[in-house]
Structure 1
């Protein structure tokens, strides 16, 4: 069921949600959290679609905050909020509230969103594209237990990592880090099978791949060895090499969903290592609401080579 409200308020949106649930015969809520998606019109469709797919695993109320930019001084722009509500089969397993803010309301997003949060449920905020430098200090970020960004969407994604590190607070995370979950699990499993001291490492990827930069920082943080970054044709990360006295431990994925795991003295093996969609990444992040201390440590890791030369 879809409902559209023009020049509305948060209280009217709440009443419309209740009426919509009654109309479809589901007056009670079985929602486990609120997912606030802060985006622009250009990225709204893809972001809401990914969040809706993720809600099939995590029933939630999705609140998409879309700031509509108008020309002219802020004081002269029309101030209003338009809303689109989706309940039932139109909203996956939860509810979708799309708020389009005009004029001065774009500067008061938290006061608009606060009355629409699911009572007594955690709040997760997600910025699919442009994100504030200080996530926890942002009015919407201050409402959330978890704050998700995507550095890969930035014009200079690697440079954004330093900005994220400077403004890091427990609860912050980035989809560039989530894309590494399978890589990190595979490399950790390889070292469990071959518990050899690592003397150096190499991460090969396409140019300016932010996930590869985070992977290099994580390896330096965990192993305490210099990690070389090498450019490859891609796509994304293509190879990780860990050097040991008995030979190289390698994970190679030149293309496709299969990678090759190479261990010294063992037969090469094929392992699944596909590139996941944003919906899968968001689903993973919604499974945990505590601080990701490993991400925080890797994010703030100073490159070991630079530290040695200082």
Structure 2
């Protein structure tokens, strides 16, 4: 599937996952609150890849883990295949774990160093009641082959592999339960650039082969552009812009998206940057700015930006923007 445009078959169907008003607060010292995620909404259509992108501290990882209830959300809904995951009891949620999986950022710390790869994948197979014996051994060999490794690697320990190979093992573990939906939480950020491309290609191939639906979390816009059909740009817990990747990258509307694109690597040395790079540091989520949370770093901010929390409004073609100065409909 091309990351440039959604096919009509995907674009017109109901989303597999619809996140509505997702909010997550953490308690801090002296009764203060960390506003990690605030009123975040987006859809993920079956068979597509949606990218959550933003700087460190933007809330994208918390949003992804909240959807899976690896951290309990404070508010909102996550409608998965018609069922609100946030309304399920812990026991009811366990029955959905097989359908929703995650690939973690650090492929070393997410694997038990004292377990052989066969045992690591075996734990995942236990979760779905997979029988032991030859059938299990064959399934482990199949999973390793699926992610580009040798079945012989099943007898080794995690420290015997490179970072890219360990991430392939993490992907195999997530796929062991045959999920429909996978959150990939910055799965290539800890890898060398040359290895990143291999893992991204693997994810794209697996999505097509297995019919996976992906929520891909990253801080690198070039990675998201390569892999994702749609993109959701987050800043300090809020959505700044979202829409089809082709539209957002070709004609970004929010000053934050423009700034992120200005700092992204440009492969063509003759190509001039048309946006102002991002300046300063992201504010504390304990004390976010009033109004638009991006206003303290925004080169286009006006006085009203301190008073109004801009709604995420549709500007045409599935493109949404949260900016009082740039939310006019696209002509």
TM-score in terms of structure 1 length: 0.34
Which structure ranks higher in relative contact order (CA pairs < 8 Å, sequence separation ≥ 6)?
2
Q: Select the structure that is richer in strand.
A: 1
Q: Which structure has the bigger radius of gyration?
A: 1
